[in-house]
Amino acid sequence: MGKILQLLLRNGGFVTFVLVEVFCFIIIVQFNERQNAIFTHTTGLFAGRVLERRQEFSDYIGLKERIDSLNGVNARLQTDLANARIVKFPLRDTFVVVLFDSLNSTDSVRRHVMRPLYEYYTATVIGNSISSANNWLMINRGSNDHIAPNMAVVTNNGIVGIVRHVDDHFAMVMSVLHRQTKISAALSRFHAFGSLIWEGGDPSLMTLKYIPKHFEVKPGDEVVTSGFSQMFPREIRVGTVEGDAVQDPENPYFLVMKVRLSQDMSTVGDVYVVKNLFQPEQDSLQVKVRNEQ
């Protein structure tokens, strides 16, 4: 306390000057309308700027939660879209065959007749490689988040890979840039399907094989997933045909072509993991077929 008094006594003149200035300022503002209006306007602008910066900081702190929330909403929309692509199928009764349109049917009919095939889960890539012959990605979701092997991984731009190894909190994804990758893909214009593989080299290009040679494929033709795979839903973007299609030297009845991926594999961030709800049943049928061969 003594030191504070000594400081005040030592700087008493300056302290007195400051107090007098503050007092005069208050008097001027209180008893002059113009100065009061200027002061009110100025303090309002300053307070507004402070509140604006505070809100921006608060928004930045909560940005991750908002992104997670939006990704969750997007995942639900992707699930609905993937299931809506199953447009028409026959319902047989004793007398007639009814065509059921999943996009235009009423909710009550859809609930009783149409069962969803896919569910989408959000994830983020935390590890990625594109420079080796066999590339992998790591995502921040695992078995605790309903992730399992053989689930497809996609983005809004295109395909990414297939889940192969799963731990409690993480999963390893075999990239489309892997020599063992083989995905059923189709030319959107013809609905002709073939096998999409990666032969190494340019990480933006893959190879589409086994397209029948009677199709007139042109550069720029869109390539999508065929829906015949148990993992990838139908009509997920893959990319576009790059250059001319040529006759497959290994099989003269088919064409082979390069496909430029729509998803840049070097910039993959947020992804969706796709669960086929009927995959166990489909696997069981395939095992029965293989056992009969």
Residue ranges of domains in the chain, CATH in brackets: 87-116 (no CATH), 117-278 (2.40.10.340)
The stretch 143-170 carries a mean pLDDT of 93
- Percent of all residues in the chain with a pLDDT value above 70, rounded to a whole number: 65
Compute CA distances 211 → 4, 159, 178, 219, 275, whole Å.
90, 20, 21, 14, 28
pLDDT value at residue 264: 93
Instruction: Judge whether residue 273 has pLDDT over 90.
Output: yes
pLDDT value at residue 49: 66
pLDDT value at residue 27: 76
pLDDT value at residue 43: 66
CA distance 167 to 258: 35
| Higher-confidence position of 218 and 78 | 218
- Give 85-137 pLDDT, tens digit per residue: 554 444 434 333 333 444 444 454 444 445 568 888 989 999 999 998 899 99
pLDDT value at residue 101: 44
Least confident segment among 30-44, 75-89, 199-213, 256-270: 75-89
Give 259: exposed, middle or buried? Use CB within 10 Å, 0-12, 13-18, 19+: buried
The whole model's pTM is what?
Answer: 0.64
- Give 61-89 pLDDT, tens digit per residue: 666 666 666 666 676 666 666 665 554 44
pLDDT value at residue 222: 96
Q: What is the mean pLDDT of the chain?
A: 78
Least confident segment among 15-24, 129-138, 151-160, 207-216: 15-24
Contact yes or no for 216/225 (Cβ under 8 A): no
Instruction: Judge whether residue 208 has pLDDT over 90.
Output: yes
CA distance 35 to 26: 10
pLDDT value at residue 136: 94
| Higher-confidence position of 138 and 282 | 138
The stretch 34-52 carries a mean pLDDT of 64
Instruction: Judge whether residue 174 has pLDDT over 60.
Output: yes
**What number of other Cβ atoms are within 10 A of residue 232's Cβ?**
26
The stretch 233-238 carries a mean pLDDT of 91
The stretch 131-157 carries a mean pLDDT of 92
